[in-house]
Amino acid sequence: MRETVTTVPVLTCDRLTVAYAPAARPVLNDVSVGFATGRFTALVGPNGCGKSTLIKAIMGFLPHAQGEIALDGTALRNIPRRDLARRIAYLPQENHCPDHISLAELVELGGYARYSLFGGPDERDRSLFADALTTVGLEGLAARPVNDLSGGQRQRAWIAMILAQDTDIILLDEPVNHLDVHFQYSILDLLRALTRCGKTIVAVLHDLNLTAAFADDVVMMRDGRIFAQGRTADTISAESVRDVFDFDADVFARGGRLVCLPAHAPQAPA
């Protein structure tokens, strides 16, 4: 750990150890990490290092987890699901939607925790939903079944649903994977803008350049452990990239931004 983050962490994991079966080798090993209020934290690391597992463990999906996860100091396991859903939203890596769900219904489901048994969204919810659709650029498609949308549109539909959940913490597992460059940037830009309204964003990202461009903080993981965490500019370096990814990279600042490129790049084609 290079530097302690100055803002107060809203979500903390303390000595978290997770295995997928009782006697299996742990996938996360003694992980302690805190996510600061109002900041965009990127989780990076090689495939299989436990990034997704960390997010799932925070969501309470994994039964064989030891250690303490706390939200504002309250142990997460003591918070009822419904109250939790008003604080934390989660977007999995892969999403499936049955044929009968339309985009409008998917976005409406975002507000699920706020509805009464027989009730539905109120006026405030509705304007929130409309804003969410506009934000991801899907206004006008609300009546279409989600499965009839294209791959990129579908991913944006799910992000609209997460926005509609209107929580102060959002956990996303590779949110921009299936998107083209334009939407990669606009979605990450949006997430960054949300942090200015006090929301806390935690996202698993693969692209170090996107991470460097958008994340305030970075948590680098390797083999189920935290390798480094801290401010992006301090944490991503040629050394840390080599140690975490076994990959020689040139990391340099250009126009005030970090850029990460392979050190032994092949000759550019003539």
Partner 1 sequence: MNGRRYPAMAGILAIAIIAFIANLSFGASAMSPRSVVAALFAFDPDNYDHFVVLYQRLPRALIAVFLGAVMACGGAVLQGLTRNPLASPGILGVSSGAMLFVVIAAFLLDVPSQGQGVAAILGGFFGFLNCLLVTRLIVSSKEPHGLAFILSGAVLSMLHGAIANAIMLSSPSRRSDFLSWATGNINHVYVERLRDFWWLGALGLVMLLAMARPLTLITLGRDKAASAGVDVTRITWLSIGAVVVSVSVAVAICGPIGFVGLVTPHIVRPLVGASFRLALPANAVLGAAICLLADLAARSAFAPHVLNTGIMMDLLGGIVFAVIVKRYYLSTSERGAWR
Partner 2 sequence: MTVTRALDGRLIMRFAGGLTIRLADVVALSGLSLVILLAAAASLTVGSTPVGMADAIGILWHGPDASDLSFAVWDVRLPRILMGILVGASVALTGAMLQSLAQNPLADPGLLGLSQGSMTALLVIFVFLPGLPQGWLPLAALAGGLAVGVLLVILVGRANAGGMAILLIGIAVETSLSSVTSILLLYTPPEVSLALADWMAGSLFRASWQSLATFTPWFALGVPAILFLGRALRSYDLGDQMAMALGETLSFSKPVILVTAVLLTSAAVSAVGPLAFLGVMAPHLANFISPASGRARLLLSAAVGALLVVCADILTRGLAGELPLPTGLAIVILGVPMFITTLRLRSARRMRGQ
Which two three-digit tokens encode residue 75?
């142990």
Residue 152 interacting with partner 1 (CB under 8 A): no
The Cα 252–Cα 239 span in angstroms is 12
Residue 68 phi/psi, 5-degree rounding, is: -120, 130
Residue 96 CB, nearest distance to partner 1 (Å)?
6
Inter-residue contact 169 to 11 (CB < 8 Å)? yes
Residues 73-102 that bind partner 2 (CB under 8 A): 80-86, 88-90, 92, 95-102
Residue 147 interacting with partner 1 (CB under 8 A): yes
Residue 144 interacting with partner 2 (CB under 8 A): yes
Stretch in the footprint of partner 2 (CB under 8 A) among 66-74, 127-135, 177-185, 227-235: 127-135
Q: Which of residues 1, 8, 48, 63 is near partner 1 by CB under 8 A? A: 63
Residue 252 interacting with partner 1 (CB under 8 A): no
Residue 178 CB, nearest distance to partner 1 (Å)?
12
Residue 81 or 196 with smaller CB distance to partner 1: 81
21 binds, among partner 2, partner 1, none (CB under 5 to 8 A by kind): partner 1
- Which 8-state DSSP code applies to residue 145? B
Cα distances from 155 to residues 46, 47, 124, 193, in angstroms, run: 23, 21, 24, 19
Stretch in the footprint of partner 2 (CB under 8 A) among 18-26, 55-63, 198-206, 231-239: 55-63
- 137: nearest Cα among 113, 114, 163, 112: 163
Residue 53 or 135 with smaller CB distance to partner 1: 53
Residue 104 interacting with partner 2 (CB under 8 A): yes
Run of H or E residues at 105: helix 103-109
What burial class does residue 254 get, using C-beta atoms within 10 Å of its C-beta: 0-12 exposed, 13-18 middle, 19+ buried? exposed
Q: Which of residues 8, 20, 61, 253 is near partner 2 by CB under 8 A? A: 61
From residue 79 to residue 108, the character string flagging contacts with partner 1 as x (rule: CB under 8 A) and all else as - is --x--------------x--x---------
Residue 109 interacting with partner 2 (CB under 8 A): yes
Which two three-digit tokens encode residue 166?
């209107």
- 218: nearest Cα among 43, 31, 67: 43
- 51: nearest Cα among 192, 169, 203: 203
Residue 232 CB, nearest distance to partner 2 (Å)?
27
Residue with tokens 């939607």, as numbered in its chain = 97
Which two three-digit tokens encode residue 54?
């960390």
Q: Give me the residues that bind partner 1 (CB under 8 A), please.
A: 20-21, 60-63, 77, 81, 96, 99, 147
